[in-house]
Every structure is written in structure tokens, then in C-alpha cells.
Structure 1
Amino acid sequence: MAHEKARAEPVPRRASGHARPRPVAVAALLLTALNLRPAVTSLGPVLQEVRRDLGMSATVAGLLTSMPVLCFAVVGFTASRLAARHGSDRVVLAGMAAVAAGLLLRLFAGGGALFLAASALALAGIAVANVLLPAVVKERFPTRVGAMTGLYSMALNLGASSAAAATVPLARTLHGDWRAALGCWALLAAVAVPPWLALRGDRARPVAPGTRDARRLARDPVAWALAGYFALQATAAYVVIGWLPQIFRDAGLSAETAGLLFSVTSVLGVPLSFALAAAAGRLRGQSALAAVLGAFGLAGYAGLWAAPAALPWLWAILLGVANCSFPLALTMIGLRGRDGPTVARLSTFAQSVGYLLAVPGPIAVGALYQHTGGWGAPLAFLAVLMLPQIATGVLAGRDREIA
């Protein structure tokens, strides 16, 4: 059961991490965060070329854009159990190796099947890191959950925005080869592997989540509110990641401009993620923050629906602010759990269930776009979904703690 907390950012009774975390732990955390989105955000600016060369319909492209949430849901369920058996450091290490291998394999994708399989491998690696990093923060930085979540969210957005902005120029430099441009991001993933090699066996393994723990979470309204909020923000985020450049291109803007506009949505997250998560960690409740971010999203969708080419930079800014619901969700997961093992279980539940519920969203947007021939219906659909996102965010942000 959830109950009221006495403090906004509680100190666990027993900290499983070091009193003074090693610098290599900070490096491992930040380098991993840098790699949590380039596999996805690098694709949007060249999606049109990928579809053309691989013969993808808009619906199949919608399936491609929904692959992140599908992989995060399916693989995410296994993350805390794998960490209990092998140690979270080793699992994240294997995840980063899988990211590097998957992105490298996309270099050789001559058809849709291999491209999808290589993407799935990279996304599986990202999935385990997505789930385990909040627990790593709780275990290694138990008194600085908000600040450290903000720091790695900032790195996450930096990686996302860099991939979005640089992929089209990279492809141009590489003689128009989008495969090589996407493959370049494997190098960044490879850099994240050595710090985790150094951290293997550095601390005790987290407690394994038992059946009773999973059932208890499944009955907890706070856990379900977090899962619902995570699902709805993920739907919005991955539609923006997968389709926002195409929306701008369909409005008559160039591919490079569309990529830059999309990168704005991620660049804004670099400073805002840190500030938002740090502020959220100091507040007793985060409901008001969730409502404000939802209002920004509604305004951004309304602008894209009415006149996408009129004020494209403003719409990108509004959606960039709205996408900070992701670091807010991560921070709330860290704050709602009492200790590292609880956060690992809660993160597994909220992210896996959330991503699973988010799977239909990008597919529905792709299908609506294909069958209506425009973006009016998809954008109206996204605006409607923002209302339950605000509602679940308000519920998840209440001052409660899961034991």
C-alpha cells in the first residue's frame, strides 16, 4: 500500500551504494544515458528515404516507430530479474554491447527484415538500461535522486538531439548513404561499454522481485498511475520522435530544416530535464508539474494542426517542453520507491506496463495518416490523449511512497 511520505526525497534505511560514488559510476551512468535515444531519434529525419529504399508503407513505418515501445515493454519485464541473477552492472553492460551491435548491423540492411531485426537488437539493449538506471541512481545516489535523475535525463536528451540534428548532415557527407549515417551511432554506444566493465561486481546485487512483490504492485493505485502516465507520455514522445520531421516535411519544409526543428524538441530537454527533475525531487508532490507539461503539449498539437509551417519553431519548442514528462516520470518512480530494490521493481512495472500500453499509439497514428492522407486526424488523436496523460500525472504526482 502507498502512504504519505515525511520527506520529498527520503534517505533509505540501508543504502546499497557507496557513500562517495566513484567517478567511473557517474561516467557509466551518463554515457549510457547518451545512448538511450540515438537509435530512435536518428531514424526520423531519414525515415522517408528508409521507407523508399526498403519499400515500407506508412503503416509499416508506423510499426517501425512503435518498435521502441514494444521492445521496451517486452524486454523491460525481464530487466530486474536479470539484474537479480547477474547484477545490474553486468546487465547494463550487455545492454550497451547489444546497442552497439544492433546499430552496426543496420549498416548492412538491404531489406526491411534485417533493418527491423537490427533495430530490435539495439532497442532490447536500451530497454534493460531504461528500466535499471532509476534503480542504479537510487542505489548509488540515494540522497540525490532528483539531481542525478535530472543529470542523466539531460545526457539522454543531449544524445537524442545530437542524433536528430546530425544524421542528415552525416548522410550528406557520406554521399547520401543513410545506412552509414545511422551506423555511425554505433561508435557512441561502444564508448559506453568500458565503464561498465570497470564496475562489474562493484556492489551487492539488488533483491530479486518475487511473485508476491509483483502482485502487490499490480494492486497499488500509485503504481498503476505511474504506469498510465508513462504509457501516455511514451505514446506522445515516440510519435514525435517518429513522425514530427515528416509532419514538417509534408508542410513544405526541407529535410534538414525538419531535422533541426525536431532536434529543438530534444535540445530543450538538455537544460529543462535537469532543472525539472531537480525541482521535482525537492517538492512533496509533482502533480502541478505534470499538469503544466500537459498544457504545453496541447498547445503544441493545436499549433501543428492549425498551421504547421506558420510558426514551426514555436510548435517545436512547445512539444519539447511537453516531452520533459519523461524525466518527470523517471523522477517520480525514484521518489515513490523507498529503496533501490523497490525502485527496481516499480521501474520494471511502470515502464514495462507503460510501454506495452503505448504500443498501439504510433501504429494508430501511422494508420490514420495513411488512410486520411493528412495530419489533422492524427494530431487531434494526440491532443485527446493528452487529457488522460494530465489526469494520470496528477495522480502519480501525489505525495505517496511504495514500500
Structure 2
Amino acid sequence: MMRAMGLLQKDRTPPRRSAVRDRAPAGHPDAPARRGRVLLAVALVLTALNLRPAISGLGPVLAEVRRDLGMSATVAGLLTSVPALCFAVFGVTAPRLAGRFGPVKVVLAGLVAISAGLGLRAVAGNTAVFLATSALALGGIAVGNVLMPVLVKRFFADRVGLLTGLYSMGLALGTALAAALTIPVSRAMGDNWRAGLAAWALLAALALLPWLVLLPRLRARGDDARRPGGAEAGPDGRPLRLTRSPTAWALAVFFGLQAMAAYITMGWLPQIYRDAGVSASTAGLLLALVMGMGAPLSFLVPTLATRLRTQGPLVIAVGLCGFGGYLGLWLAPAGGAWVWAVLLGVANTAFTVALTMIGLRARTGPGVIRLSAFAQSVGYLLSVPGPLLVGALNEATGGWTAPLLLLLALLVAQVCCGVLAGRDRCVEDGH
């Protein structure tokens, strides 16, 4: 990560892009002072660290949560669908909130919601309260999901690939840490899953600190003010009609299908391994490996994606890894457990590919915020039934064959949509 920070200062020559202007001109109002760029990058990475522990930390202790709160497999499937539903519902409000209050203030408020929600969830006494407090944290995560690409485009227009890689690495690292450490923390606190889940509220509180330092500076510069044209993203000032854009729809469906696969993985992969005879702690480590693979890969993938004229080949390569992972889980879940985890870890970088394409398929800052909100809200809404359906199929069939066959079929559709979304086009041009 320190090497990446050094690149912020040293590497001033971005890769050539045909449809996107990656370099901000000298004196551009969206380019903060050089000495503040590193602190801003740190704030973005710390924020990214907090956008997945609420989800990935739950999977390793899901069996204990179900036992103590009296959840059936179907209700647990609903619980694993709540993140996507919250991301769809709350994410669509992010552009309006950012336009009124400024994106930095909205992200800061989101971190407060994450910390409060995770802390309160740990003391929930029933399923309803557990769901409600989870929704509070997930609402904060939702606005962060949408606004992170916007902040990168605004403050690092000359380093979209690098900063997308940095915060994607933060996302992957936060996901992996929660998956790997929730069980050990719970055991250290007397086999108390509540303590294991509550620990992640502290990480969200820590992420507030750099933003609190930056906010007065950004306010003084006007960098967190509402920008004209936030809702008028077309170059001629007319509203950008993303519902008529084939590229926007392809990107939204691609985003939704990869999100569905990711939340099924985070919610159910440990249980698949445990049902195959793998211990709870090892199952948690396997999930951590899946998510941890994204840390180095999520830094490399955006750089590669921005150097490609079209991202279709990258989408296909990632999809093939996912196909191998699901097939392995179906045929020999315990025998090749670590191999399947590595393959699924590579497949999970589809999320990073999708985030990078959001920045590449829109030419303007307002276009990015509109496309980010559209792709993520529609995508997360599309992903909602996935974890619930997997839980219902598992309960109905008593095994994992049907859910894994479903995942293989969805992966084919994901690759097709990703290839379409990866074409060298911009939504502002009517594509």
C-alpha cells in the first residue's frame, strides 16, 4: 500500500484512454493540494475497509446467530439478502443527498451509521431487531458504495485506475479481515458471537478521523460543495436518460449478477464447507482467502482494465475462474477446498471490474454519479433474491447441488452482460 501511495506523488502519466479523459488540467478545482492527496487517499481506503465487514463477518457465525435467534434456513437466506436490498433502496438516494450536502459529508454520515448499526446489532435480542440494526449499518454502506467512485473522479481525475485499485483493495481487505477474525475474536471473548460482530463498529469509528481532519479544508476550498449539473449530466445540460442506455443496462445487470454471486458466497460459502465436513474455523479462513484474494488483485485489475480498449476479455477470464470454483464446490467441496477458494477469489474481482467500468463508461463527473447510482441501485435490487433463493433451495433439497447449478447458470449471463458493458462507449453519447 505504501508503494501505491508513492505512485500518487511520482507517477503523473496516466494510461491513454480513448473515451475517458483521465487527467485533470493544471489548476483544476477538483484537484486538492498535493499534501492533502495522501490523507484523502488514506480516508478513502479506511472508508473502503468498512464497506463489507457487516456482511462478511456474519457468514462464519451464521450458524450460531441462527441458533440463538431461532432462524430457519429460509429466514437466514432473507438475512443474507438484506444487504443487497438496502444497497438498492438507500443507494438510489445518494446522488440527491450528495447534491444537497456534498459527497464528503454524506460519506461521513454513512460511517456514523455503520458504526452505530454494528454496535446495536451486537445486542439484538431477536431477529427483527437484528435485521433493523443491520439495515442501519447497511444504509451507511449503501451511500458509500455509490459515492466512492464519485469521490475518486472528483479528487483524483488523473488517477482513476490507481485510486479505484486502492479502495477496491481496501474493500477486499476489510472483507477478508472480517471473515478471518470474527471467529477468533468471538472465541477470545468466551465464544460470544456478539462480541465478534461488535468489534467492527470500532473500525468504522476509526475511519471517521481522517474525514474530520479533511472536512474543514475541503469546505474552505469549496471541494465538498454541491456541484452544478449534478442532475444534468449531459454535455448540453439536458438530463442524462440512463434508462434508455443499453450500456447502462448491461453494466447494471453485470453489477447485479456479480453482486448476487458475492453475497451468496459471503453468506453461504462457510456453510457449504461446514456441511462438507470442514471445521468452522477453517471455513472462516477459506472465506477469508476468497475475499483476501481481492486485495492484491483489486489493485491490479483496474490498472489493467484502464489499459484495455474494451474490458470484455477481462470479464471472460474472471468468469472462467468462477466457473472452475463452482464446479469444484459441486464435485469435491472438501477435497479441493483451498483451490476452489482461490478460484472464487479471482472471480470476485468482477466487482472491481464493474467499479472501474463505471468510471470508464461516463465521461463527466455528473455522468459518473448518475451511472454509479443507476448501476448499483438496479444491480443490487437485481441481486436481492439470490441469497434467499439459495437458502430456500438448500432447505428444499437438503444439499448444495441445486444452488451451485444455479450459480453456474447465472455466471454465464454475468459474462455476457459484462462483455456488452465493456465496449468502448460512453453513456453521454447515447450508447
The Cα of 1:362 is off from its aligned counterpart by: 1.0
Per the alignment, residue 84 of structure 2 pairs with 69
- Structure 1 counterpart of 2:231, one-letter code: P
Q: What do the CA deviations read for 1:271-310 (whole angstroms, capped 9, x no partner)?
A: 0000111111122111110111111111111110111011
Query: Do the aligned residues in 1 keep the contact of 2:81 with 2:385 (CA within 8 Å)?
Result: yes
Distance 1:214 1:281 in 2: 27
Per the alignment, residue 359 of structure 1 pairs with 384
Tell me the percent identity.
58
Per the alignment, residue 37 of structure 2 pairs with 22
- Structure 2 counterpart of 1:44, one-letter code: G
Q: What do the CA deviations read for 1:322-348 (whole angstroms, capped 9, x no partner)?
A: 000001100010111112221111100
Per the alignment, residue 10 of structure 2 pairs with none
Please state if 1:171 is matched with 2:171.
no
- Structure 2 counterpart of 1:301, one-letter code: Y
Distance 1:286 1:6 in 2: 13
The equivalent position to 2:226 in structure 1, one of 188, 205, 219, is 205
Distance 1:378 1:43 in 2: 20
The Cα of 1:9 is off from its aligned counterpart by: 5.4
Per the alignment, residue 18 of structure 2 pairs with 6
- Structure 1 counterpart of 2:31, one-letter code: G
Distance 2:426 2:231 in 1: 18
Secondary structure of 1:125's match? helix
Distance 1:63 1:184 in 2: 24
The equivalent position to 2:409 in structure 1, one of 378, 384, 393, is 384
Per the alignment, residue 300 of structure 2 pairs with 275
- Structure 2 counterpart of 1:205, one-letter code: R
Query: Do the aligned residues in 2 keep the contact of 1:44 with 1:243 (CA within 8 Å)?
Result: yes
Please state if 1:251 is matched with 2:251.
no
The equivalent position to 1:135 in structure 2, one of 150, 155, 170, is 150
The Cα of 1:350 is off from its aligned counterpart by: 0.4
Q: What do the CA deviations read for 1:77-127 (whole angstroms, capped 9, x no partner)?
A: 000110000000000000000000001002211111111111100000000
Distance 2:242 2:133 in 1: 33
Root mean square deviation of aligned Cα: 1.6
Per the alignment, residue 264 of structure 1 pairs with 289
Query: Do the aligned residues in 1 keep the contact of 2:22 with 2:159 (CA within 8 Å)?
Result: no
Per the alignment, residue 194 of structure 1 pairs with 209
How many residue pairs match? The answer is 399
What is the TM-score with the length of structure 2 in the denominator? 0.90
Per the alignment, residue 79 of structure 1 pairs with 94
Q: Which has the higher contact order (CA 8 A, sep 6+)?
A: 1
Per the alignment, residue 144 of structure 1 pairs with 159
Query: Do the aligned residues in 2 keep the contact of 1:147 with 1:281 (CA within 8 Å)?
Result: no
Q: What do the CA deviations read for 1:48-78 (whole angstroms, capped 9, x no partner)?
A: 0000000001011001001110000000000
**84 and 262 in structure 1: CA distance in 2 versus 1, 3 angstrom threshold:** same
Q: Which moved more, 1:364-373 or 1:208-217?
A: 208-217
Query: Do the aligned residues in 2 keep the contact of 1:134 with 1:334 (CA within 8 Å)?
Result: yes
**7 and 217 in structure 1: CA distance in 2 versus 1, 3 angstrom threshold:** closer
Q: Which residues of 2 match residues 229-378 of structure 1 at below 5 A?
A: 229-378=254-403
Query: Do the aligned residues in 1 keep the contact of 2:60 with 2:280 (CA within 8 Å)?
Result: yes
Distance 2:148 2:265 in 1: 23
**338 and 8 in structure 1: CA distance in 2 versus 1, 3 angstrom threshold:** closer
Per the alignment, residue 121 of structure 2 pairs with 106
Structure 2 spans left out of the alignment, 5+ residues: 1-16
Q: What do the CA deviations read for 1:164-209 (whole angstroms, capped 9, x no partner)?
A: 0001111110001101110010000001112222333250423432
